[in-house]
Chains A and B, each alone.
Chain A
Amino acid sequence: MTPIAFPDLAFSTILPEGILLTTALVILLIDLFAPKTEPINLTLSTLVGIALAFVSTQAMKGVSELGFSGMILRDDLSLYLDQIFLLGAGLVVLLSQHYCSRLRLPYGEYLVLLLFSTLGMMVIAISADLILLFIGIELLSLSLFVLTGMNKSSLLSGEASVKYFVLGAFSTGFLVYGMAFLFGLFRTTNLVTIGEAIGVGVHATPLLVFGFALVLVGLGFKISLAPFHMWAPDVYQGAPTPITAWIATGSKVAGFIALVRIFSLPGASFQPFGELWATGFWLLAMLTMIIGNAGALVQTNLKRMLAYSSIAHGGYLSMAFVAQTQLSMQALLFYLMAYLLMTMGAFGVVIAVTRKGEECHAIADLAGLAKAHPLLAGLMAVFMLALAGMPLTVGFFGKLWLFGAAMQSHYYALAIVGILTTILSFYYYLRVIVFMYMKEADEDKPFDTPAIAPQIALGVAAAGVVVLGLFPNWIWKTITLSTGTL
């Protein structure tokens, strides 16, 4: 009688995910058995967990192995992405505690869901299988749906949550449908196997096109590419602001990573489909850049403006899939980090700045911030300039390389539209600075003293924006190393 062979699961490949999951469970238990725990202790425990996971990713550098019967691909790329997610999660935690106590949100549950959503992102990053990818996306999405509606006293928050859920479920339908097509064609859900099959040129049928198009729609929703972007402004506006920041950054980065995993299949040769995907992304990138920037132009609400700014950036980032070169992929990975820091910082200022206990919803509410809190105004100015793509900030190099990659692959129209819309974007980014520095504050609503933790998060984000703007090579090297596997 042969013993049943226990498959080699290689648990070591999911060490960071394991640490994060443990942290989430611990917080859950603390919240259950000791509900009176001081929020600061919860914050610190969460941060310790995130830090441990971060350390473990650093320690694992250099691995490249498949685990769990080929469902998990643990390589340097996934480690770099994990670090982006963990950094983002840490920043969100720092931004959240004060915000939650102000709005009386259940902080323990909030943290647990936040950690689960992070876990979802990290699962996406290591997926080498469509099923796992789907699980990651759903773990992320479901957590975010709940988090969006966490502010039960706010009608907007509830509306946003329902909207996000309904439309999210709708788009998930497309995603699953597309994945089903792929499975039907290839008889496998394993991305590596699918990639090899495409590489040797089998199954080159319109059905494949259809399958990929459906996946693109499903994921396009997650990263709010036009015309699947319409939920974003409403949800961004209604969700608790730290969650907005998290949806705008972490969730969007994760969506792009899912695209990287699917559309840059390991071992797959892009021909003959490369050009086809390029055409698809070309269209979406074009539309997204134009609609995102035009939408941001007319907003008076700060969070909506940032939502459109985030949509526009999704357009810039999609250019990487059009160019489809080593450089464009590296630029994408660099800009994802840059984008996370800039956007998180911008939302962070919205969180940190309150007037008489109220958030600054309108851009005009920031008037006079430079006088009241020169530090916060300065940080906001840095983030705005970075988002606009000023040199000496990280935003400049990101755009430079993305546009440069598009030019190299001869997509001139795309690059030109990118540059023109970037010029357009200066208007709405600089307008924030104009309000902060050149307009007088409304005396009736004085600015409150900001809490410490958000300021730390802002400081970290701003330092990243400036330091990486001056020395982009710092992470560029890591990226170059990790994209060897693509």
Chain B
Amino acid sequence: MSSILWLIPLLPGLAALINGLAEPRYIRVYAGYLAAGAMGLTFVLSLALLIQALGQGEHFTPIDRDFYTWMEAGALSIPFGVYVDQLTLVMMMVVSLVGTIIFVYAMGYMKDDPGYVRFFTYMPLFTFFMFLLVMGNSLPLLFVGWEGVGLCSYLLIGYYYDRDYAAEAGKKAFIVNRIGDFGFMLGMLILFWYAGTLKFTDLFERAPHLFEFGGTAITMITLLLFVGATGKSAQIPLFVWLPDAMAGPTPVSALIHAATMVTAGVYMVVRLNLLFTMAPMTLLVIGVIGGLTALGAASIALVQRDAKKILAYSTISQLGYMFIACGAGAYIAAIFHLMTHAFFKACLFLGAGSVLHAFHRTTDVDVFEVGGLRQKMPYTRWTFLIATLAIAGIPPLAGFFSKDEILLHSFTAGSLVIWAMGVAAAFCTAFYMFRLYNLLFSGSFRGSEEDWHHIHEATPVMWVPLAVLAVFSLCIGWLNMPLFGVEGFHHFLEPVVAQGHQEASHAAATNDHFALELGLAVLAIGIALAGIVFARLLYVWAPAIPERMKQAFLAPYTVLFQKYQVDELYEDAVVNPYYRACKKIEWVDNTLIIGGLNKLAEAVTGAADRLRRIQTGAIALYAAATVAGMVFLVMWLLLWY
């Protein structure tokens, strides 16, 4: 089985290659099937691997296979190979399963788009890089995947390249990520400086002896790596690109900007949990950033009017939760939430996409111009409701289990402030999600008569994927139910973090605090219910209240609506000064460098032109030149002799 591992990234890569190179007119009919088929196959392969691993149980050992040496320079030797352990398996399952579902959905959603083939070139290419990211057995390989998914993200955000905002959003995502990547690369380099290797297995082996627990070196390295994660996973301060990224087609938002790519930062932290655990300072920073992001993004989501923007802020907020978990050393809880989130957030995005599709738009539907869709779009409504309940944290849906576990861990880890931020964010989550749900599906339609007339339920190719995702949103949390005293998911992933002693002690601690666990769970449910009821009250039972509240709290409302003005702040503090500096440098470039180069080029071509005149074609001249050359050469040699 492990011998065909390489097929998993290769299949979508091949699909991308074929779709990208073939003549669009001919491949159009097959492009979607090809891409979705390749994804389906990778899912089957991943599943087979998982089953094999589960079958081996305790005897499963991580697969570490080098295919060939990718580069070699002095002490640096980077193999091209895969590392598959339990964590990789979980990530592969998430990517391949959610990917397959979304690809199928996209075949319906993108059906009439003129760029259909281009779409199905970039999407499998993205999954190729995503698999590389999660399967690579060294940091540089992970980084190749990391940059590759960044590239595809850029291409797909700017998919509607003829619209300015999409092109701008693509650029923004790319540039903001570049800042994070700079940190990541620095971290990687310093790590290599100390450890002399970037291969995971070697790192895990050497790191405990190399670094002093809590020392400066390890703290610096992990902090820099985390800077990379804040870029890719849209955390404070680099989160600003993700809301804009919604300019891409909705399946892209679902797959890349909710389920998979943006979780790469979390994956990276968990993959290197051994290093991060050795740097308590970094963990604290991660926890605080995660908490701030979770609450901040959730609060912005409270008042937004664009369905996809709301979901984007929700994603940022949920990613914040995952980092809260990482900060508390609860890496498995982070991955667990990553997985459940992938399903319910994909479901939400695709549901929103279904609504957009009904409106024949690609972005930008003001939720206050919708309403009452439950009558016309029953499938979308029910699946959306399930996913909304899941993200709000209502048992027994997926989000309850994973979020509850994160809050529990942050509570027992002793960081009560972070825990409080998490709880507050949970309330906001329940509120803004049900606000969105109510505005979309409850009440009556607030748009034009004509729009209402056009609205229709999605075709099966779109609602079946929705239903599948809804089922997963419902059930996936049960994986970690403490059945027979064993938390299955936790148990499966335990070997990945076994080295993190902290985690083990936490697990022990939680077993003793069953009462605490129960109390916290009840509190969480209560808060979620409060949020739901509050949203119901404001947007269904008494729709006049929100407007009055808005007037009463105009100042805080404006701050939230304008997203804390972070974009404007960056614009003034970084972008504009940078532009002004560039303008000055441009002058230097234009006059001195380019001007100088032009002069130089003129001189060179002038000289070459004069040289050409020697080339008259006369044999005698050529022979004379030969003789002259010979004489000169002999003299030259004798001179040195």
Is B629 within 8 A of A217, CB to CB?
yes
Q: What distance in Å separates the Cβ of A109 from its nearest Cβ neighbour in chain B?
A: 26
Answer whether residue B582 sits at the interface, using C-beta atoms and an 8 A cutoff: no
> Is the Cβ of A280 less than 8 Å from the Cβ of B636?
yes
In this complex, which of A166, A214, A291, A297 has the most chain B Cβ atoms within 10 angstroms of its Cβ?
A297
- Residue-wise, chain B 598-631 has the 8 Å CB interface mask toward A (1 for contact) of 0000001101110110110101011101101110
Query: Do the beta carbons of B626 and A280 come within 8 Å of each other?
Result: no
Interface size on B (CB < 8 Å)? Answer: 27
Q: Are B637 and A280 in contact (CB under 8 A)?
A: yes
Of the candidate stretches A54-62, A224-232, A475-483, the one touching chain B is A224-232
| Cα A75 to Cα B636 with chains together (Å) | 35
Instruction: Output the nearest chain B residue to A427 by Cβ-Cβ distance.
Output: B601
Q: Which of A167-175, A185-193, A320-328 contacts B (4 or more CB under 8 A)?
A: A167-175
Q: Which of A65-73, A121-129, A205-213, A388-396 contacts B (4 or more CB under 8 A)?
A: A205-213
Closest to B68 in A: A471
Nearest-Cβ distance from residue A15 to partner chain B, whole angstroms: 35
Say how far A174's CB is from chain B's closest CB, in angstroms: 7
Interface residues of A in 77-100 (CB under 8 A from B): none
User: A163: CB under 8 A from chain B?
Assistant: yes
| Contact of A279 (CB < 8 Å), options: B626, B629, B632, B636 | B636
Asked if A213 and B611 make an inter-chain contact with CB atoms under 8 angstroms apart, the answer reads no
Does B640 interact with chain A (Cβ within 8 Å)?
A: yes
| Nearest CB on A from B21, distance (A) | 11
Alpha-carbon distance A206/B609, docked complex (angstroms): 39
| CB-based contact B626/A294 at 8 Å | no
Assembled-state Cα–Cα distance A221/B630 (Å): 11
A209 in contact with B623 given A233-B615, A294-B608 (CB within 8 Å): no
Chain A residue numbers with a CB within 8 Å of B608 are: 294-295, 297-298
B633–A216 CB distance below 8 A: yes
Residue from B605, B619, B637, B638 within 8 A of A166 (CB atoms): B619
Would you call A206 and B630 a contact (CB within 8 A)? no
Chain B residues within an 8 Å CB radius of A284: 633
Contact A170 B626 (CB under 8 A): yes
A283 within 8 A of B: yes
Q: Known: A214-B630, A276-B641, A280-B637. Is A231-B615 also a contact (CB below 8 A)?
A: no
Q: In whole angstroms, what is the CA distance A275 to B638 when docked?
A: 12
Which residues from A are CB-within-8-Å of B615?
230, 233-234, 295
Tell me if A146 counts as interface (CB < 8 A to partner B).
Answer: no
Q: Is A105 an interface residue (CB 8 A)?
A: no
Selected contact of B638 from candidates A206, A231, A295, A424, CB within 8 Å: A206
Docked Cα-Cα span, A303 to B429, in Å, equals 70
CB pair A167 B640 closer than 8 Å: no
Residues from chain B with a CB closer than 8 A to the CB of A279 are 636-637, 640
The verdict on A167 contacting B612 (CB below 8 Å), with A209-B641, A283-B636, A294-B607 known, is: no
Collect the chain B residues with CB atoms within 8 Å of residue A231's CB: 622
Closest to A217 in B: B630
B634 touches A295 (CB 8 A): no
Q: Which of A174, A275, A291 contacts B630 (CB 8 A)?
A: A174
Q: Which residues of chain B have C-beta atoms less than 8 A from A167's C-beta?
A: 619, 622-623, 626
State whether A221 and B626 are in contact (beta carbons under 8 Å apart), knowing that A163-B619, A234-B617, A294-B608 are contacts in the complex. Answer: yes
Residues from chain B with Cβ under 8 Å of A220 in the complex: 629
Question: Are A210 and B634 interface neighbours, CB within 8 A?
Answer: yes
Chain A residues with CB under 8 Å of B634's CB are 209-210, 213
B interface, over-half SS: helix
Residues of B within 8 A of A162 (CB): 619
A-side contacts of B625, CB under 8 Å: 227-228, 230
- Give, as a whole number of angstroms, the nearest-CB distance from A425 to chain B: 12
Residue contact B633 to A213, C-beta cutoff 8 Å: yes
- Given known contacts A171-B626, A227-B625, A295-B611, A280 and B633 CB-to-CB distance under 8 angstroms: yes
Query: Measured between C-beta atoms, what is the minimum distance from B562 to chain A in Å?
Result: 45
Given contacts A167-B619, A227-B625, A298-B612, contact A206 B633 (CB under 8 A): no
Q: Which residue of B lies closest to A221 (CB)?
A: B626
In the bound complex, residues from chain A placing their C-beta under 8 Å from that of B633 are 213, 216-217, 280, 283-284
Q: Tell me the nearest residue of chain B to A296, going by C-beta.
A: B608
Q: Which of A262-303 contact B (CB under 8 A)?
A: 275-276, 279-280, 283-284, 291, 294-295, 297-298
- Asked whether B612 lies within 8 Å of A230 as measured between CB atoms, the reply is no
Which residues of A have CB within 8 Å of B612?
295, 298
Residues of A with C-beta under 8 A to B623: 166-167, 170
Please indicate the chain A residues that have their CB under 8 angstroms from the CB of B609 in the complex. 298
The docked-state distance in angstroms from the alpha carbon of A291 to that of B612 is 10
**CA A191 to CA B345, docked complex, whole Å:** 78
Pick from A174, A209, A297: contact of B637, CB under 8 Å: A209
Roughly how many angstroms separate A213 CA and B634 CA in the complex, as a whole number? 6
Query: Shortest Cβ distance from A122 into chain B, in angstroms?
Result: 27
Given A217-B626, A217-B629, A230-B625, do A294 and B641 touch, yes or no (CB 8 Å)?
no
- Nearest-CB distance from A178 to chain B (Å)? 10
Chain A residues with CB below 8 A from B607, complex form: 294
Chain B, residue nearest A299 (CB): B612
Give a binary string over A30-65; 1 marks a CB under 8 Å from any B CB, 0 the rest: 000000000000000000000000000000000000
Residues of B within 8 A of A214 (CB): 630
* Cβ contacts under 8 Å, B632 to chain A: 227
Given contacts A284-B633, A295-B608, whether A227 and B641 have CB atoms under 8 Å apart is no
A346→B625 CA distance, assembly (Å): 29
Question: In the bound complex, what is the Cα–Cα distance between A227 and B627 (angstroms)?
Answer: 9
Residues from chain B with Cβ under 8 Å of A170 in the complex: 623, 626
Cα distance A220–B629 in the bound complex, in angstroms: 10
Give the CA-CA distance A133 to B233 in the complex, in Å. Answer: 68
Are A227's CB and B629's CB within 8 A? yes
Query: What is the distance, in angstroms, from B151's C-beta to the closest C-beta of chain A?
Result: 17
Residues of A within 8 A of B (CB): 162-163, 166-167, 170-171, 174, 206, 209-210, 213-214, 216-217, 220-221, 226-228, 230-231, 233-234, 275-276, 279-280, 283-284, 291, 294-295, 297-298, 424
A-B contact pairs, 9 of them (CB 8 A): A209-B634, A217-B626, A227-B625, A227-B632, A234-B617, A280-B636, A283-B633, A291-B611, A297-B604
In order of increasing CB-CB distance, the 7 nearest A-B pairs are A227-B629, A294-B608, A230-B622, A217-B630, A298-B608, A279-B640, A213-B634
Known contacts A163-B622, A295-B611; 16 additional CB pairs below 8 A are: A174-B626, A209-B641, A213-B630, A214-B630, A220-B629, A227-B626, A227-B629, A228-B625, A228-B626, A233-B615, A234-B617, A276-B637, A291-B611, A294-B611, A295-B615, A298-B605
